[in-house]
Amino acid sequence: MLTTVTRTDFDFSNEQEAFRAELGQFLHERLPDDWQGIFVEGDEGWQLSLDICRELGERGWLTMAWPAAYGGQDASIWLQAILQEEYWAHNEPRGPQYMNVNWLGPALIHFGTDEHKAYFLPKLAAGEMMWAQGFSEPDAGSDLAALKCSAVPDGDGFVVRGHKIWISYGDIADYCFLLCRTDPTSRRKEGLSVLLVDLSLPGVERRPISSTLGYHRINELFFDDVFVPRSALLGPQNDGWRVAMTALAFERSGSARYARSARTLGLMEQRHGDEWDDTRWEQYASLLAFARATELVNYGVISKKETGEVPRVEASAARIHNSLLEQALADFAEQTTGLDFIVYGADDHAVDNGELESMWRNSFAATVTAGSYEIQSGIIAHSLGMEGRR
Amino acid sequence: MNVELPDATVEFAAVVARALMADDAPDGAGLFGVLDEMGVLDLAGSESADPDNAQLNAVVVLDEIARAGKRAPVAETIWARSRGIDTGRGFVAVASEARMAHDRLVPYGRFALSLLSGTCDAPVPIDLPADVRPARIEIDHDHLWLPPTTPAPALAQLDQAFAWRAASAATVGAMARATDLAIAHAHQRVQFGRPLASFQALQFRLVECHWRLLGLRLLVREAGWRADRNDGRADVVSALAWLYARDVGRIVTKHTHQIFGAIGFTREMGLTTVTGSAATLRALYPARDAAAVVRAGRAWVDDAPPSTILGGFLTDHQAVPA
Ligand SMILES: Cc1cc2nc3c(=O)[nH]c(=O)nc-3n(C[C@H](O)[C@H](O)[C@H](O)COP(=O)(O)OP(=O)(O)OC[C@H]3O[C@@H](n4cnc5c(N)ncnc54)[C@H](O)[C@@H]3O)c2cc1C
């Protein structure tokens, strides 16, 4: 019997680190000094994000770990991890296109037809297509299986009718990864399907929702008898729950939000470290420890993925780490940075262009978005053999 | 990058775990002999079967031992033998450091036949005076309380970074045991006609224990792995592991006691033994020292802060002279 020999290694290789440095240098030069990500920058930021994504695509720096046949370079999944870390640490210049690499592409590779792959994947690799994830509805949040948006089979396609809410980038996306009910008699998780919906189709209406979270962050999408061709179906008809859950598992484990936290910790230290007494430093050092543990849990997920697994439970644990780390940072910022954490970027008094404030303000959403803390905890509880009414 | 354990480590840990779990697995002195035979005590010494992974293997095995609820001064002996100190009949207790508030508290002193005395560089085993008896304090730890009349010896100091790793590994194992016990209890205990494990409020406490331990365990292993490579950040990561272990120890202790209710405080349940032993370690190795090492190691090359945590530390930093 063949046995595999595991070579434990807690470091990136020298070549990988060299690549990180090259990428970091590129981002440093290419992004404006006050770049805060498209949630803060508005329309200008969105245009810049599009330009940068095209450049990244030309360099092959979006989808390195994808198979060459799908526009990738068959590179190590760890190089992809470095890409993710550097982008997040630089306030995610890809905007919505981070999702393309994280979960959309993997879901298309996993469930897509040859036509899907041929049409979409090269565009994702080139950095020229923006997507939205259309799951939540007014009456289906955590309880996603309660969703009502219907897609009634009709000839060679489906007629979609329904209302999606809280959709990030819904105002600017080209396409929507839409979870809807294709069997009108079905209940809960049965009878659902995923449709890849062109948002320029007649009958689609987008409405941005005003919020404290920034531009493009949350939107409503209305589908008023939108005819979607059958070719838009991803995965088996009426088995969309499985498709969506697989996509979500990719989503939870693919985002290197922790890298932005590492940078924010450094920013706080840079500005205020000299003022801290020993007790504060103890608190800060403990935060660094939690942040390192968080990185490692994310690396554990990647190690699992490398073997071809879809690590659902580990991904939930990683997601919890990432979001609670952001909130721990926000608490620390409140206690240690004076007014820095509360002055908005556009204000003359903003520090580091309001980066800390933006982190602090958004930290409260960290445990809600992409599957709440409670939902992730429920997934882990289930894996530990704990059932019951939730 | 690959955070999975080497195959040989996984196999060795499984052998040790089986021996520890056996119905007739001894505790204390007997266990010590069994572990000695398996080579556990020489993991990091000149007789080590796997010198390249000595420190990694040590933390993995210390974790297993604590998780099995077994107690003996294994870490101390591994450390002593790694320094070429003849531990004689085996039992050795090392007073961790002179700076602790009560420098008369000796971990595992209750089992000890000799104490290592002296400095880190030149520890000398000394026989325990006949009148030294373990004193009982409220929570049942395996330590020895030297009576005030005995002049406290110049107690040996464990190599600080090793101590942080060993204490972290013991904390992971102890807290994993507390979590195992609490999960079992939550399934078995019925209130309001349902097992406690079906109440979401309690599930979430156990879930937090689970994910905290997942991260801590990886951090402790990283510390061992770096120590094996004489990596410049080995001491810093050992310090980080210990800082996080302290936090996780407190969190898991609170959650698991809450799940047990009143019965958790009885000696029969065994919960206070594990939560108490982790607390003793926290008392022995203060956060202050670990935080100081972390602080001293912080630096980065560019103006912009780094995008990884270790990118924010000097790579050639040695906190404690080897
Ligand atoms: C910034 C942001 C971006 C988002 N982007 C998208 C997007 O792009 N696409 C998309 O489809 N959705 C998106 N969402 C929506 C997100 O997925 C939902 O907010 C989330 O699923 C929770 O649903 P809800 O807001 O309706 O809260 P609710 O479901 O009403 O829950 C409210 C609170 O109750 C808790 N709760 C609910 N049920 C239980 C239970 N059984 N046990 C314990 N606690 C429970 C929840 O965890 C939460 O804390 C986004 C949300 C945010 C904040």
B211 lies in some domain:
yes
- Would B212 be classed as within a structural domain? yes
Q: Is the CB of A168 under 6 A from ligand 1?
A: yes
Picking from A282, A293, A306, the nearest residue to B287 by CB comes out as: A282
Mean pLDDT of chain B: 80
Ligand 1 binding pocket mutation candidate from A39, A97, A136 (most atoms within 8 A of CB): A136
Residue with the bigger pLDDT between B150 and B75: it is B75
Nearest atom (ligand 1) to Cα of A135: 11
Nearest to B312 among A266, A297, A389 (CB): A266
Residue B232 counted as domain residue? yes
Q: From the CA of A134, how far away is ligand 1's center (Å)? A: 13
- Indicate the range of A11-20, A281-290, B93-102, B249-258 predicted with least confidence: B93-102
pLDDT value at position B129?
Answer: 55
| Two structure tokens written together for B155 | 């107690």
Written as six digits, the tokens of B144 are 């020895």
The answer on pLDDT for B90 being more than 60 is no
What is the spatial distance between Cα A333 and Cα A339, in angstroms, rounded to a whole number?
A: 9
Residue B208 and residue B258: Cα distance in Å, rounded? 13
* Regions of chain A where pLDDT drops below 50: 1-3, 390
Q: Which of A141, A172, A317, A265 is nearest to B207 (CA)?
A: A317
Two tokens, residue A21: 């440095």
Cα A297 to chain centroid distance, Å, stands at 17
CA A85 to chain CA mean position, Å: 12
Residue whose structure tokens are 């978005």: A369
Question: Which residue among A86, A263, A299 sits closest to B3, beta carbon to beta carbon?
Answer: A299
Which atom of ligand 1 has the smallest separation from the CA of A365?
Answer: 53
d(CA B150, CA A366): 56
In a domain, B199, yes or no: yes
- pLDDT at res. A388: 58
Task: Return the HEC string of B186-239.
Answer: HHHCEECCEEHHHCHHHHHHHHHHHHHHHHHHHHHHHHHHHHHCCCCCHHHHHH
Rounded to the nearest 10 degrees, the angle between the axes of helix A278-306 and helix A77-89 is 140
Does residue B147 surpass a pLDDT of 50?
A: no
Task: Return the pLDDT at B106.
Answer: 59
| Subunit contact B203:A377, Cβ cutoff 8 A | yes
Is A177 close to ligand 1, i.e. is its CB under 6 Å away?
no
Answer yes or no: is pLDDT of B159 > 90: no
Number of domains in chain B: 1
| Cβ contacts of B215 on chain A, cutoff 8 Å | 290, 293-294, 296-297, 317, 321
CATH of the domain at B256: 1.20.140.10
pLDDT given for residue A46 in this prediction? 85
- A79/A64 Cα distance (integer angstroms): 7
Contact yes or no for A85 and B216 at CB 8 A: no
What number does the ligand 1 atom closest to the CA of A164 have? 11
Average of pLDDT values for B114-129? Answer: 48
Q: Report chain A residues whose CB lies below 8 A from the CB of B300.
A: 266
Strand, helix or coil for residue A258: helix
CB of B132 within 8 Å of a chain A CB? The answer is no
Question: CA-nearest residue of chain A to B303?
Answer: A270
The ipTM estimated for the assembled molecules is: 0.93
> Using CA atoms, how far apart are residues A214 and A171, in angstroms rounded to an integer?
13
Is pLDDT above 90 for B125? Answer: no
Q: Is B204 within 8 Å of A12 when comparing Cβ atoms? A: no
- For residue A259, the chain B residues in CB contact (below 8 A) are 307-308
Ordered domains of chain A (ranges, CATH): 14-129 (1.10.540.10), 132-244 (2.40.110.10), 256-383 (1.20.140.10)
Q: What is residue A2's predicted lDDT score, i.e. its pLDDT?
A: 44
Distance CA B287, CA B250 (A): 13
pLDDT band at B154; cut points 50, 70, 90: very low
Question: Is the pLDDT confidence value at B99 over 60?
Answer: no
In a domain, B224, yes or no: yes
Contact B235, B320 (CB under 8 A): yes
**Residue B102 falls inside a structural domain:** no
- Quote the pLDDT of residue B28: 65
Indicate whether residue A133 lines ligand 1 (CB < 6 A): yes
Hey, are the CB atoms on B308 and A265 less than 8 Å from each other?
no
Contact between B297 and B233 (Cβ < 8 Å): yes
For residue B101, the tally of other CB atoms under 10 A from its CB is 8
Tell me the residue range of the domain where B299 lies: 158-312
Question: Strands A219-229 and A204-208, how do they pair?
Answer: antiparallel
**Continuous H helices in chain A:** 14-30, 38-58, 77-89, 98-99, 105-111, 114-126, 240-254, 257-272, 278-306, 312-336, 355-366, 373-383
- Answer whether A297's CB lies under 8 Å from A321's CB: yes
Express each pLDDT in B15-61 by its tens digit.
999 998 887 877 766 777 788 888 888 898 888 889 999 999 999 99
Q: Which residues of B touch A332 (CB under 8 A)?
A: none
In this prediction, residue B314 carries a pLDDT of 85
Q: Considering only CA atoms, which of A346, A383, A341 is closest in space to residue A362?
A: A341
Task: Note whether residue B243 is domain-resident.
Answer: yes
Query: What is the average per-residue pLDDT within B195-206?
Result: 97
CA-nearest of A289, A321, A381 to B249 is A289
Q: Is residue B173 part of a domain?
A: yes
> Which ligand 1 atom is the nearest neighbour of the CA of A168?
8
Do the chains contact at A296 and B219, CB–CB below 8 Å?
yes
State whether residue A300 sits within 8 Å of chain B by CB: yes
Chain B closest-CA separation from residue A86 CA (Å):
6
Q: What is the mean pLDDT of residues B167-186?
A: 96
**Which pLDDT score, from 0 to 100, does residue B141 have?**
52
> What is the rounded CA–CA span in Å between residue A241 and residue A230?
18
Model confidence at B267: pLDDT above 90: no
Of residues A281, A290, A380, nearest to B291 (C-beta): A281
In this prediction, residue B37 carries a pLDDT of 86
pLDDT computed for residue B253 by the predictor: 98
Q: Where residue B138 falls among pLDDT bands split at 50, 70, 90?
A: very low
